[in-house]
Amino acid sequence: MTKYVIHGGKPLFGEIEISGAKNAAVAIIPAALLVDGVCRIENIPQISDVTSILNILQELGADVRTVNRTTVDVDCSHVRNAKVPEELARKIRASYYLIGALLGRFGCAEVPPPGGCDFGGRPIDQHIKGFVAMGADVEVGGGYIHAKAKSGRMQGTQVYLDIVSVGATMNIMLAAVLAEGMTIIENAAKEPHVVDLANFLNSMGADIMGAGTDVIKIRGVARLTGGTYSIIPDQIEAGTYMAAVAAAGGEVLIRNVIPKHLECITAKLLEMGVEVEERDDAVLVRRCAPLTRTNIKTLPYPGFPTDMQPQIAAILCIAAGTSVLTEGVWDNRYRYVDEFRRMGAQVQVDGKIAVIEGVKQLTGARIRACDLRAGAAMVIAGLAAHGVTEIGCVHHIERGYEDIVRKLSGVGADVRVVVTPDEEKQAQVG
C-alpha cells in the first residue's frame, strides 16, 4: 500500500511547473484514431489515466512510440479492431471517447461503460442522443455499449444538448469530423479542453468552428492527416497548487499556465485574501494574511470548476467565518467531507450545499483519498494542518497529478511517499 505522509505547517516558496491537461490528453489521444498518419502529441502528462488510454490504443493495434518524457508518436493507420478490452476501459472515465472516435473511423464501436470517480450517477445519455441523431444504432448489453452507423458512415445533423456536458460535446465532435455533411452542437460545453480537442483536430485537417462558444459547427472532411500538436497546460492542476499555497502560506510562481483559464479560480482566491499576480504564462501566488470566507457555486466553464470544489473546500475549512459551497454539476461530490472532519473541520452537507465554518487550525489525521480531486484536497488540508497527516488510497491522486510529491517537496513541503506491505497480505500472513 502506498500512502503520503505530510508534516504540515510549512510555508511553500519557489516554482512549480504545470503539466499538460489530463482532460485534454484523454480525449486527444483517442482522437488519433481518426488520423491517417503519425500524430506527434507533446506536453502529455505522466499520469495513470494517460497510460491507460495509451494501453487501450495499443491493444486496438496502434503503434505508440515514446519520443521523450512528455511526447509520444501515435500511429493508428493499421488499427482494424473496434472492440475495446473490458478491463482497461473500466479503469477510466475517458474510455467513452473511444465510442465517438471509433464510430467516426469505422462506423462502429464496442466499448464497455466507462469507469472513473464516483459522484453518484454519471449518465452518458447525451452522448448516445448525439450518436443516434447522427444515424447510429446504440444498444447496451453483455457489459458493452454497441454502436453502429446504419449507413456505414456517421451523418451530420443538429444536436441540442439538454445539459451542458463536456464529455458529450467532445464525443459528438469526434464522431462528426469524418461524418458526411455538417454537424451542429448546440448548448455545447466551453471548457478549455473542448477548444484544445478542436484545435488538435483542426491542425490535422478537420473543419471545426465555434469551439469555446455554445454552438460548435463541424463540417465533415474525407480524411485527417498526421502532424504535431502540443496539449494545453492543466487548469485544474494549476488551481490545485494555487490552493496549496493559499493553505500553507508562502509565495510560489506557478509556471506553464494560461492565466485566462485560471481567472475563475483567481477571482475566488483574491476574495479570500490571497494575492495572485498574472504573468504571460505564469501566476505568482502569495499568502501572507489569514484567509477570509467566501461563497462559491461550481458551474460549467467559465464558472468555478467542479474539479476544484474539494480543493477550495480544504482552504475554506481554515478561512475565518462561514462559507457556503454549492455543487452545481455533480449530485454527490462531498464524500470526502468525513475525512476532513477527522482533521477537525466543521462542515455540514445538505444535498448539493456544504456549509463550512472556518476553524483556526486543522490537525493531522489518518485519512483516505476517495477520488482524484478529493485526494488532492486532502493533500492541501495536510499541508495546512498541525501535525502529521497520512493519506491512503493515493492511486486515485496519481490518476491525474504528475509527480505531485516531487512538485510539492520542491517548494519546501514535507511530503513523503511511504510504501508499506499490503494490509490484506499482512493479515493473511499474520
Binding site residues, ligand EPU, CB under 6 A: 23, 26, 93-94, 117, 122-127, 163, 165-168, 189, 306-307, 329-330, 372-373, 400
Query: What are the Cα distances from residue 421, in Å, to 367, 397, 424?
Result: 18, 20, 9
Cell representation of residue 267: 477571482
Q: How many CA atoms lie within 13 A of 41 on its CB side?
A: 33
Is the Cβ of residue 246 or residue 377 nearer to ligand EPU in the bound state? 377
Choose among 170, 171, 209: nearest CA to 192: 170
Q: Could you tell me the strand order of the sheet in which 144-149 lies? A: 108-111, 144-149, 136-141
Pairwise CA distance, residues 399 & 92, whole Å: 9
For the bound state, the minimum distance from the C-beta of residue 120 to ligand EPU, rounded and expressed in Å, comes to 8
Is the Cβ of residue 165 or residue 294 nearer to ligand EPU in the bound state? 165
Bond into 302 cis (ω within 30): yes
Beta 224-230 vs 35-42: how paired, if at all? parallel
Is the Cβ of residue 75 or residue 196 nearer to ligand EPU in the bound state? 196
Residue 176 near residue 154, CB atoms below 8 Å: yes
- DSSP for 280-342 reads SSEEEEEE-SPPB---EEB-STTSB-GGGHHHHHHHHTTSBSEEEEE-SS-S---TTHHHHHH
Q: Which of 39, 76, 108, 117 is catalytic?
A: 117
For the bound state, the minimum distance from the C-beta of residue 307 to ligand EPU, rounded and expressed in Å, comes to 5
Position 356, amino acid: I
Is the Cβ of residue 249 or residue 375 nearer to ligand EPU in the bound state? 375
Instruction: Give just the sign of the alpha carbon dihedral 78, 83, 84, 85.
Output: negative
Pairwise CA distance, residues 309 & 334, whole Å: 9
Pairwise CA distance, residues 99 & 109, whole Å: 6
Q: Which residue has the cell 457556503?
A: 324
Is the Cβ of residue 207 or residue 331 nearer to ligand EPU in the bound state? 331
Is the Cβ of residue 102 or residue 253 nearer to ligand EPU in the bound state? 102
For the bound state, the minimum distance from the C-beta of residue 7 to ligand EPU, rounded and expressed in Å, comes to 27
Q: What is the DSSP letter of 261?
A: G
Active site residue 117: yes
For the bound state, the minimum distance from the C-beta of residue 310 to ligand EPU, rounded and expressed in Å, comes to 9
Pairwise CA distance, residues 166 & 195, whole Å: 11
Query: What are the Cα distances from residue 325, in Å, to 164, 306, 360, 369?
Result: 20, 11, 19, 20
Helices (H), 82-152: 86-89, 97-106, 125-133
For the bound state, the minimum distance from the C-beta of residue 389 to ligand EPU, rounded and expressed in Å, comes to 21
For the bound state, the minimum distance from the C-beta of residue 427 to ligand EPU, rounded and expressed in Å, comes to 32
Pairwise CA distance, residues 306 & 312, whole Å: 10
Is the Cβ of residue 239 or residue 249 nearer to ligand EPU in the bound state? 239
For the bound state, the minimum distance from the C-beta of residue 289 to ligand EPU, rounded and expressed in Å, comes to 30
Is the Cβ of residue 103 or residue 365 nearer to ligand EPU in the bound state? 103
For the bound state, the minimum distance from the C-beta of residue 93 to ligand EPU, rounded and expressed in Å, comes to 4
Active-site residues, by number, are: 117
